[in-house]
Structure 1
């Protein structure tokens, strides 16, 4: 009887977390699908380098706005309804981009999609971290990053497939325009499929039990917690929640700026920011262009981009299977150190003109692998854990906002850096920007594996009292 119950609970936990992780899939798909459309849109609309950067980064501006409102909305209306909103926005964006009649319309729908992705990028990992038992939380939140990387690689495959069918003839003029003459429309429009699946699946999952507890809906929360992890665990979770809440009445974001949470605030702002300025999305957005500078043809560059995406997926599994065993800090130390080394070597190879052969691609893949098992997933795990219950939504929105601001800057500045500074200095700058994350991991980030969210909250309070 006990074994069957545990099995059912585990299946339920995985299924719900996988649905929430689809928000990461949309994030990854939308981020990476642009890489195959940039040169095509640039040609069709005669874009200069600034408008090219704006086409890439306008969605990121939408993400910044989406994240800015997501914390308050998810705290007020619940995690589930805001995830549904994000799916609707993304579906409308993908459809609108496919059918847009001008560059202005295209930018408008990209902004709408950005709003949806910005919301999902915060609420999806928040929901998963609140839904998962502490012993599985690292693995479950890492599913979000895995879905993100799968979204990236599937967009590469779809882009490569569609690019190889340019020139095909269709009986319908509309289909010919979308799938042949202006194939970037099909590349962007395919986003309607995952968005539709995400939207329908969300109606089948429950609300976050911790949000329900914050709203005083203890019976509903208890039923969900029992289904996830059994009666004893549910009782302990609710008891710990009540003890934490009794000492934590303030639900305003200013709570986060108190000295007791100062380290959590710095981690929440700096770790996501540095995870983007290390250059991960420069490789994802502009990978074909970087590989072309290394001597690859366009088709082989897109093939190299698919390889990058596959390595990203495979090495994310390392984090999934180790983050709850080895801990957050070891993965960050090894991964960030390897990423910095790879970026430095890539810069040296470009500077010395060693661009023929596989070396550039090999070290780009090393950088991707190091990011995929450390910075990528562990950043989401950590920022989903370190904030107090009462303000977790608002605090995670602040942390995710930091990530998207960095993402926006990278998307906007990378074409200019590649053009004005060259590839070598671009990668050296990324290495310098990545390095401080090693110090933050060493000095600020506590090991949180196996700890409940309430226990982590108490850690900050006890640590603060001990320092005074």
Structure 2
């Protein structure tokens, strides 16, 4: 096994330039695919689980939401693991967690085993959601860093899209009685395959060069940088990394609350929270409910949801093609305004005496497109770029925890809001948040496109808490 690992590793590392970085990024992005798979698999299993284990509505909610609670814990420890053990070892832990938790849920013999399995799976999601984009950002060349980090978002939406068809294939090819006792187990168990592939392939990728510099292994870092840049650029970047590490305090808390970096931390937390208040999870999680409310039948609402998944995949690819050309800031500002408009009109559509199904569908699709072209992958790109190397993992943990907590709040309170005040006012509330975040992005957050991560760090440190709206 060791000899085979070394042979494949040498073959991967021998690939120069674009080929080498493509292979490495694809492997790292599999963490995002597992994120998407584990998030989406419950949609097909829930009905069977309720009958198999005679679950109440409250217990069904706990089984579903326990993955979000686990993710909150996962992101809190992900940064510490990434900064202490290295990005690669922490990703290996994430991969192993996915495999073990897929086994646990597939063979669950009681509802509390399911809850524990889903919670542990959430820990894996939390680890991957932070570490995969962080690792990709640290190894990617500055001029295409946005595109490569966005590949993790592509993997996430692809995982969600794939699991729709995995669930449908299992259900449609077996009798109802078999699905009731075994089908849901196969839904969870199929996650073992991509989990094992991710875990094994990670042995063939290098450690983050920026992490290696923090541990004094500059020669190895230069070797890795030289595979995706020319030698001169790699040497210059290594020097910048070295100086950026010297420039920060020794203490994590001194660093976090130093002038400039404390603003970067606040910006990251607010961007993370804003991502969830775009209304995307409200639209995505409850799309079938929205479509049924708009008059679509049960089968039509399912197919409309699949179309939403396909739109996500297509427009994340578009994001990858344009994010480094147009820049993060423009995309997040423009599409913040677009989403606000779509949500306002969606609210009006819900207020109509005779709701127009085609209009609701069009607005949901347009909102999804605007989100995936901006705040979906764009926030993770910015979060992976704005913090200093020495504390990047732990600082991202704080912002990512805020993101998952906001996810939990939206998932819990959207149906309550929808029932209490109706679709019109609910979507208008999200529209107000979209306006606020577009203005915030325009006035407070700097453009990071095409800058090295060390240049971004220097901008925060040297400008302190002054305006960063360049």
Deviates more, 1:411-420 or 1:74-83: 411-420
Q: Do the aligned partners of residues 353 and 192 (structure 1) sit closer, same or farther apart at CA in structure 2, a change above 3 Å counting?
A: farther
> Tell me, what secondary structure is at the counterpart of 2:325?
coil
Q: What does the per-residue CA deviation read over 1:301-339, in whole Å, with 9 as the maximum and x for residues that have no partner?
A: 221111000001111122101111111111111222122
Aligned with residue 62 of structure 2, among 48, 54, 68: 54
Which position in structure 2 is the counterpart of 1:19?
Answer: 27
Residues 1:253 and 1:70: Cα distance change in structure 2 (over 3 Å): farther
Aligned pair partner of 2:156 in 148, 151, 160 = 148
Q: Tell me the residue number matched to 1:172.
A: none
Between the aligned partners of 2:283 and 2:442, the Cα distance in structure 1 is: 27
Residue ranges of structure 1 left out of the alignment (5+ in a row): 169-175
Q: Secondary structure at the match of 2:19?
A: helix
Q: For the Cα contact (< 8 Å) 1:134–1:451, is it kept in 2?
A: yes
For the residues of structure 1 that align with 2:263 and 2:86, how far apart are their CA atoms?
Answer: 27
SS of 1:224's partner is: helix
Q: CA separation in 1, counterparts of 2:296 and 2:465?
A: 58
- Alignment match, 2:391: 391
Q: CA deviation at 1:143?
A: 0.5
Question: Residue 111 of structure 2 corresponds to which residue in structure 1?
Answer: 103
Instruction: Confirm or deny that 1:266 pairs with 2:266.
Output: yes
TM-superposed deviation, 1:465: 8.5
Partner of 1:117: 125
Deviation digits for residues 411-443 of structure 1 (CA, Å, limit 9, x no counterpart) = 222343344444333323332333321122111
For 2:183 and 2:356, locate their aligned partners in 1 and report how far apart those are by CA, in whole Å. 30
Q: Distance in 1 between matches of 2:42 and 2:20?
A: 34
**Residue correspondence of structure 1 range 239-258 to structure 2 within 5 A:** 239-258=239-258
Q: Separation in 1 of the partners of 2:24 and 2:89?
A: 15
1:346–1:38 CA distance, 2 compared to 1 (3 A): farther
Q: Which residue of 1 aligns with 2:143?
A: 135
Alignment partner, residue 290 of structure 1: 290
8 Å Cα contact 2:349/2:356 also seen in 1: no
- Deviation per CA, 1:189-226: give whole Å up to 9, x if none: 22222212111111111110000000001111111111
**Alpha-carbon distance in 2 for matches of 1:333, 1:192:** 39
Aligned to 1:9: 17
Q: Is the 8 A contact 1:56 1:411 kept in 2?
A: no
Is this contact kept in 1: 2:334–2:438, CA < 8 A?
A: no
Contact 2:31 2:132 (C-alpha < 8 Å) held by counterparts: yes
- Three-state SS of the structure 2 residue aligned to 1:207 is coil
C-alpha deviation, 1:181, in angstroms = 4.7
How far the C-alpha of 1:36 sits from its partner, in A, is 2.9
Instruction: State the partner residue of 1:171.
Output: none
* Alpha-carbon offset, residue 356 of structure 1: 5.0
Q: Which TM-score applies when normalising by structure 1?
A: 0.92
* 1:229-287 superposed Cα distances (whole Å, 9 cap, x missing partner): 12111101111112222222424144122222233112110101110122222333332
Query: 2:52, 2:180 within 8 Å by CA — same for their partners in 1?
Result: no
Mapped partners of 1:424, 1:159: distance in 2:
33
**SS of residue in 1 equivalent to 2:216:** coil
User: 1:191 is matched with which residue?
Assistant: 191
Residue 331 of structure 2 corresponds to 331
Number of residue equivalences:
455
Report the Cα distance in structure 2 between the residues aligned to 1:36 and 1:295, rounded to whole angstroms: 22
Which residue in 1 is equivalent to 2:6? none
Match for residue 73 of structure 2 among 46, 51, 65 = 65
What's the C-alpha RMSD, in Å, of the aligned pairs?
2.2
- Distance in 1 (CA, whole Å) between partners of 2:378 and 2:65 is 25
What are the residue-to-residue correspondences of 1:424-463 with 2, within 5 Å? 424-463=424-463
User: Is the CA contact 1:59–1:111 (under 8 Å) kept in the aligned structure 2?
Assistant: yes
Structure 1 CA distance for aligned equivalents of residues 138 and 91 of structure 2:
14
Residue number in structure 2 paired with 1:164: 172
**Cα distance change, pair 433–465 in 1 and its aligned pair in 2 (3 A):** closer
User: Are 1:312 and 1:368, in contact at CA under 8 Å, matched by a contact in 2?
Assistant: yes
TM-aligned CA deviation for residue 389 of structure 1: 1.4
- Structure 1 pair 187/339, CA: closer, same or farther in 2 (3 Å)? farther
Partner of 1:307: 307
Residue equivalent to 2:320: 320
| Structure-2 change in CA distance of 1:50 and 1:342 (3 Å) | farther
In 2: Cα distance, 1:417 partner to 1:23 partner:
33
Q: Say if 2:105 and 2:185, in contact at 8 Å, map to a contact too.
A: yes
Residues 1:371 and 2:379 are matched in the alignment: no
Deviations 1:3-52 (A, max 9, x none): xx998211111110111111111112222222333344344444444333
> Conserved in 1, the CA contact under 8 Å of 2:333 and 2:439?
no
Comparing 203-212 with 48-57, greater Cα deviation is found at: 48-57
What is the CA–CA distance in structure 1 between the aligned matches of 2:457 and 2:364, rounded to whole Å? 38
Q: Structure 1 residues 41 and 412 mapped into 2: Cα distance closer, same or farther (>3 Å)? A: farther
Distance change >3 Å, CA 185–CA 240, structure 1 → 2: same
